[in-house]
Amino acid sequence: MTQAILKLTHVTVQFGAHAALRDVHLSVQPGERVALVGANGSGKSTLLRVAHGLLSTSTGQVQAQAAARQAMVFQRPHMWRTSVWRYVVWGVWLQGMPWAQAQTRAAQALQRVGLQDVAQQSARTLSGGQQQRLALARAWALQPDVLLLDEPTSSLDPHAKREVERLLSDWLSAADTTLLFSSHNLGQVKRLATRVVYLETGRVLADLPVDHFFNQSLAHSHPQAHLFLKGELV
């Protein structure tokens, strides 16, 4: 088997008396598209932040391939008080890219997401959908091996959701990028993921190929995940 590009082993994250993650094991292979699903508070966002190195584990270990570049896009990306153009250029330059290359990559990224015409506009004046596309542009400009997304379309209107999802589909079909994302949109999970990980109270209770996860037999093999899909999870 190919070496995992990202691996969590016995990972627990404790916030005081609350365990946000409990003894989580997760191994992601290069090129996989893994969706994290579960109710609010199940540990999806915490898992993404641990995987990206933004949170430390209380116990356990996180391993990532040393040469693998990561980029993360949040549910509501923080917009700097600067132009759309500088938001991308500075973002990749601060990651160590030479200035001239950063400018070229930024131009390509804005063209890719359809924001080239607002390049000199303040990033904070963009609509929610445009801001999400801008955050994706900066992530794309880094050309990551692993892309992490935390509820990438949950706060967007239907049109903006379709646009962001189209950009992701085009990106993933054109590059061998590994995707780890959380989503409450099960239709989106079906369209984007190859594998689904179901979390409940910080534990991984199901880890299945996407077609198996949405199969009727889930009721017998993983009853908690089945109740979640039916909207009956307490």
What average pLDDT does this structure show over 216-221?
79
Q: Spell out the residues 6+ positions from residue 200 whose beta carbon is closer than 8 angstroms to its own.
A: 38, 39, 42, 224, 228, 233
Q: Which amino acid is at 173?
A: S
Q: What percent of the chain has pLDDT over 90?
A: 74
pLDDT digits (tens, 9 = 90+) for 89-100: 999 999 889 999
Q: Is 19 exposed, middle or buried (0-12, 13-18, 19+ CB in 10 A)?
A: middle
What average pLDDT does this structure show over 202-231?
89
Residue listed under structure tokens 């999970």: 189
Confidence of residue 232 (pLDDT cuts 50, 70, 90): low
- The packing angle between helices 128-141 and 99-113, to 10°, is 140
- Kindly list the domain boundaries of the chain, sorted by start residue: 1-67+184-234
Q: Please, how many CA atoms are within 13 Å of residue 186, restricted to the half-sphere of its CB?
A: 12
What average pLDDT does this structure show over 161-177?
87
Q: What percent of the chain has pLDDT over 70?
A: 98
Q: What is the pLDDT of residue 231?
A: 81
Do the beta carbons of residue 70 and residue 52 sit within 8 Å? Answer: yes
Q: Which fold has domain 1-67+184-234?
A: Rossmann fold (3.40.50)
The yes-or-no verdict on residue 149 having pLDDT over 80 is: yes
